[in-house]
A and B are shown apart, each in its own frame.
Chain A
Amino acid sequence: MNLRRLFLIGTPYLWLLVFFLIPFVIVLKIALSDYAISIPPYTPTLDLSAGWEGVKSFFAALDFENFSFLASDALYWKAYLSSLQIAAISTIITLIVGYPIAYGMAQASDEWRPTLMMLVILPFWTSFLIRIYSWIGILSNEGFLNQLLMWLGIIDTPLTILNTNVAVYVGIVYAYLPFMILPIYAALEKLDGSLIEAAEDLGCSRASAFWLITLPLSKPGVIAGCFLVFIPALGEFVIPSILGGSSTLMIGKVLFEEFFSNRDWPVASAVAVVLLLILIVPIILFQRNEQKQREANQ
């Protein structure tokens, strides 16, 4: 009995230890190391055969040089800031697009809901990469969008959308929309319809009932959706590198280049550690929101 309890409680902790804490410690260790032309491309490496002295000299060789380098080079903090900005703006656009869709789904009749849900989830059945690539065909100068607009006579010369931040916003909003819709839908769906009737009964118009009742009560869903979009968008690499241009500065791209073009693992690891620290704040806020919601439901 006790063993079983231990196993049940221990499993998630073991999972976290093996798949989060240990990798993080390894990355942190590399971030504290120095660049070296060797395999692996950093020093020092822990040499246990030298015994206690080896461990001591190993720790002595670790320093925060890479972090001070990140702070001194404007490229990095600009990349962080620009990532934060892109993630924040895309989150807001996703919310503006996603909320009405979720609301429409929650209002739909029971027999339509599974179909609508299916349509939201359906894109996940195709490769993420292919879906992002296909936007090149839509957004490029000769793409469908420009062809359509020119055929309609709205524009004369094609718009340059691909390889700009606009394309990145389009890509992020498109890719993360389901993550916004689903939690909002979940919140709206369990909303008791009699609350709206009660609000109307007490003198609210349809619109004010929405503002005073529906919107505040869907807030947990909105917050969850925003975090689910914001957190991955912040470290997004694929979308800016496929749809963005050379001027699109995002930390995911910087990270990739440090690792694979520069082969400077220690600096790349430092970038990753700082990114994680930035993400921890919204992740903790997200967890708190979930916790609060669970308590409110009790």
Chain B
Amino acid sequence: MAQPANRPVFAPWNDPNEKPLIRFQNVTKKFGEFVAIDDLTLDIFRREFFALLGPSGCGKTTLMRMLAGFEAPTSGTILLDGVDIAPIPPNKRATNMMFQSYALFPHLTVWDNIAFGLKRSDMAKDKIPARVEEMLRLVRLEKFAKRKPHQISGGQRQRVALARSLAKAPKLLLLDEPLGALDKKLRQDTQFELMDIQEKTGTTFVIVTHDQEEAMTVASRVAVMDHGKMIQVDTPDRIYETPNSVYVADFIGDVNIIEGRAVRKGDDKYAIAWAEGQPDILGTSSAAIDQGTRVHFAIRPEKVAIASERPEGRANVIEGTVSDIAYLGNISTYKVEVAGGRMIKAQVANERRLARRDITWDDKVFLSFTDTAGVVLLK
């Protein structure tokens, strides 16, 4: 889809004059001996849809709970709009949270759940119904206003929770695994709905998720966390295409990791010796790498082409035998055994019908990719 040329790209993180909405400054959080957040510094900007991604126990939920006010940092400061929020209790913060379990009040109707926060705010009593109606319209639940939470479906509950947390028009909305309880189809629909609502309301969203696909879909920036540290904070495409470490490359999507020794071959070109008797892999790295350093070459399966004839004019060609084929409908993944018993995955779009596929099990094939298709990683 072509973007109009005059449309500015939303990237406040690249603008040095932009003031962040949230600033974590050397924040550490310990639970007893356990370090949940380890000296973390991070800026999140207004109108961002910011995703915290990581395995369970990486500290992403703790980070969010500190923003909501349910946990206080052990050291460091968290600024919201330039103000230290440590002394502000959760009920006085301009943030609202959408809980993983939704935490809808079971004894109140959908309407009363959404009105709950408004009734506690300084909003005039006669303005509340209009705001609740507006929220119900936003999440398309007008018909269910009088129902109790246990009388509606999981997807509807999720939307009530979203409406309730948006009703007070918070500066910052926190979403803790908001779609975890939904099935895949509903989750995908809801992701687009979330993005839509975020755009409409202009609220800053911070979402916690362990689902990398979800983070990639909704977020303007993704932060990959592990053991209380930020491993990489970047836009989804950069996270995917230029991961800064094996951890990120492996966490986001499917990847082939090949270990070897790097030898410099030109400005930013490196040859990686990875197996005895095999041609070196040619790769690119923007960072300077010392001669003979052990590196990891990461390449996405969809960037690897597979053919039964040796292709001409490709920078890297590796010979192998097909050991496994996974048919996924729209694509097929070929697992190819190359020198030393190593497996390399290649992904091909199924442009032809399955019956006309010319490569099959135990065929001798040639894998090929350009010298810019993969990344050379030091850690």
Contact = CB atoms under 8 A, between A and B. Distances in A.
Interface of A: 192, 194-195, 197-205, 208, 212-213, 216-217, 296, 298
Interface stretch (B97-105, B231-239, B258-266, B325-333): B97-105
B335 to A, nearest CB: 43
B117 interface: yes
Given A194-B99, A208-B120, A296-B150, A201 B90 contact: yes
B106 A296 contact: yes
Nearest to A208: B120
B72 to A, nearest CB: 14
B125 to A, nearest CB: 15
The 9 residue pairs across chains A and B that have the minimum distance between CB atoms? A203-B120, A202-B117, A198-B103, A194-B103, A200-B90, A200-B91, A194-B99, A216-B107, A201-B97
B107 A202 contact: no
B121 interface: yes
B117 A203 contact: yes
A208 to B, nearest CB: 7
Given A202-B168, A203-B120, A203-B168, A197 B105 contact: no
Contacts of B103: 192, 194-195, 197-198
A213 B117 CA distance: 13
Contact of B106 (A194, A199, A217): A217
Contacts of A298: 150
B233 to A, nearest CB: 26
Contacts of A296: 106, 150
A200 B150 CA distance: 22
Nearest to A191: B106
Nearest to B65: A197
Nearest to A202: B117
5 contacts: A194-B100, A200-B89, A200-B91, A202-B91, A296-B106
Nearest to B174: A201
A186 to B, nearest CB: 16
A92 B182 CA distance: 44
A168 B101 CA distance: 47
A200 B92 CA distance: 9
B144 interface: no
B91 A198 contact: no
Contact of B68 (A201, A205, A208): A201
Contacts of B116: 199, 202, 212
B34 interface: no
Contacts of B31: none
B323 to A, nearest CB: 47
Point out which of B70, B91, B107, B116 has the most chain A C-beta atoms below 10 A from its C-beta. Answer: B91
Say whether chain A's binding surface is mostly helix, strand, loop, or mixed: helix
A165 to B, nearest CB: 37
A211 to B, nearest CB: 12
Contact of B99 (A197, A203, A208, A212): A197
B91 A194 contact: no
Given A201-B95, A201-B165, A202-B116, 18 more contacts: A194-B100, A195-B103, A195-B105, A197-B68, A197-B99, A198-B99, A200-B91, A201-B69, A201-B90, A201-B97, A202-B117, A202-B120, A203-B91, A203-B92, A203-B121, A203-B168, A204-B120, A296-B150
Nearest to A195: B103
Contacts of B106: 217, 296
B96 interface: yes
Contact of A202 (B89, B96, B150): B96
Given A199-B116, A208-B120, A194 B101 contact: yes
Contacts of A195: 103, 105
Contacts of A216: 107
A197 B90 contact: yes
A217 B105 CA distance: 9
Interface string B289-316: 0000000000000000000000000000
Interface string B118-144: 001100000000000000000000000
B159 interface: no
A212 to B, nearest CB: 8
A195 B150 CA distance: 15
A201 B120 CA distance: 11
Contacts of A212: 116
B129 to A, nearest CB: 17
Contact of B101 (A192, A199, A205): A192
A204 B116 CA distance: 9
Contacts of A199: 105, 116
A202 B100 CA distance: 16
Contacts of B99: 194, 197-198
A201 B94 CA distance: 9
A213 B105 contact: yes
A202 B101 contact: no
